[in-house]
Structure 1
């Protein structure tokens, strides 16, 4: 186990059975309210790239857990790769449940960004007794959603997998491109060693299919847990209407829209998101 310099984040590989492991970042201690952070689906994405800032800002009194989802980052990958978004989701969610059970977590708040939000909704369907609350950020899941140009650029990244194309793609995730220009170049360069692993491209290409994971109003109505639905008003990856749909049909949902913010609410508006997350957990879950 290693501890990140100038941070309380611990990083380790957690065995989840069948010869597999998940690379996991953790803060806090077992027994504290548990928050499971699930990242999105971009090429080269890791738990650290999505969640390190939020974990550092989480503060005392929480057990934060952020895994590289199966097939991403430094976690194991399925071989052969399941074909299609739903098939990939099934295998990856099984691995996340195995992580929850291995860590001995009885109840968790699921904090899901984009793809991670869709996984959070599916996990709440499958094992509702585990889910203390839902925080969905730029989440898909609305039936009949047409891909945005930004999402198409993400899906087709491996047609031109260069560092320049990565930087151009990542700028789609933020609204204030001038403020993030220098940082995006660094993040793009940091992601490239992960992107160049052959199983990362294989998993990416296998995942995207015409039929995505979606939730009908009746499905959402049965998820009767506290929920916070967060969306950047200027998101060009997943449209704001998705979060309006989710908040309309989840029985206990609050909708929080952040102005002048893109798809990466937890990065572009890190302090604001962390504050809203803590307020939700303290006021609605605890």
Structure 2
């Protein structure tokens, strides 16, 4: 297993709590987590970035999540806040001296990824979108429940919410109650709650990527989705794969929104195969 080094890296007026693993001389993979109360980069990606040698892994807490900065004036709404988060990640890569990287984006992290691909396409090599948001489809009841978590921010509510993110909670074993309790405590921080509520201000416009916007993204993209995803339905990834010109789609059975946790071995194998393929497209 590869060791993780964690530092707070200054990007303009903020810091991003950033985990790194692997050899800095190897190809870089940037890992961007999704949203949710109490989410962090380490909880999303630890099992992967410690078990994929041959890469330099960078996994930051997005701006307004985890132990990164939580600006009091974080723009309201998914779209506006995602654009600021994308700018912060681009600054992070500049500070770290990264001039070319693969990127993995989960859920909201996928939306941030798509924004960055349009802003600075030359910075990115291969792309993995997993359970990504951004498709012009209505929110599911389970996504709405996640957004409204702070109406009842208890350990029991967190335990119930975790069950909506996965296909089968038995994969957590007897520890799921403790995971829920720990995550509820973390999510109870005032700055984390404020960032969540500003991100999901109901009056703000959503962030959607129509087909014509996706058509201009020429990168090779692996789109992965859990078939039983209750947070973002699999139809969202069909939309992405249909319109991204160099996309391939893999739908995994018996998996919910957290494919990287429920089916870590299968996802790791898919990622390795895809990232090691010879590019079939001309340079971006």
TM-score above 0.5 = yes
Q: Give the Cα–Cα distance (whole angstroms) in 2 for the partners of residues 164 and 46 of structure 1.
A: 20
Q: Does 1:170 align with 2:165?
A: no
Q: Give the Cα–Cα distance (whole angstroms) in 2 for the partners of residues 262 and 117 of structure 1.
A: 16
Q: 1:285 to 1:74 in 2, by over 3 A?
A: farther
Pick aligned residue for 1:191 from 171, 183, 205: 183
Report the equivalent of 1:200: 192
Paired residues for 1:120-199 under 5 Å:
120-143=113-136, 145-180=137-172, 182-199=174-191
Give ranges in structure 2 of 5+ residues lacking alignment.
none
Structure 1 position 284, deviation (Å): 4.5
Residues 111-149 of structure 1 deviation map (CA, whole Å, 9 limit, x = unaligned): 011000111111101111111121000011112x11111
SS at match of 1:72: coil
CA contact (8 A) 2:128 2:221 kept: yes
SS at match of 2:50: helix
Report the equivalent of 1:3: none
Q: 1:193 to 1:137 in 2, by over 3 A?
A: same
Moved more, 131-140 or 180-189: 180-189
Structure 1 position 178, deviation (Å): 2.8
Q: 1:167 to 1:181 in 2, by over 3 A?
A: farther
User: TM-score of the superposition, structure 1-length normalised?
Assistant: 0.93
Q: Give the Cα–Cα distance (whole angstroms) in 2 for the partners of residues 285 and 89 of structure 1.
A: 29
CA contact (8 A) 2:7 2:17 kept: yes
Structure 1 position 184, deviation (Å): 2.8
Structure 1 position 242, deviation (Å): 0.5
Q: Give the Cα–Cα distance (whole angstroms) in 2 for the partners of residues 111 and 185 of structure 1.
A: 29
Give ranges in structure 1 of 5+ residues lacking alignment.
1-5
Residues 35-89 of structure 1 deviation map (CA, whole Å, 9 limit, x = unaligned): 1100010101000110001111212x10110000111111111122311111111
Paired residues for 1:267-286 under 5 Å:
267-284=261-278
Find runs of 4+ consecutive structure 1 residues off by over 6 angstroms. Answer: none
Q: Give the Cα–Cα distance (whole angstroms) in 2 for the partners of residues 51 and 221 of structure 1.
A: 29
- Structural RMSD (CA): 1.5
CA contact (8 A) 1:171 1:184 kept: no
Pick aligned residue for 1:62 from 51, 55, 63: 55
Paired residues for 1:185-264 under 5 Å:
185-208=177-200, 209=202, 211-264=205-258
Structure 1 position 191, deviation (Å): 1.6
Q: Give the Cα–Cα distance (whole angstroms) in 2 for the partners of residues 183 and 236 of structure 1.
A: 22
Report the equivalent of 1:29: 23
Q: Give the Cα–Cα distance (whole angstroms) in 2 for the partners of residues 179 and 53 of structure 1.
A: 14
User: TM-score of the superposition, structure 2-length normalised?
Assistant: 0.94
SS at match of 1:12: strand
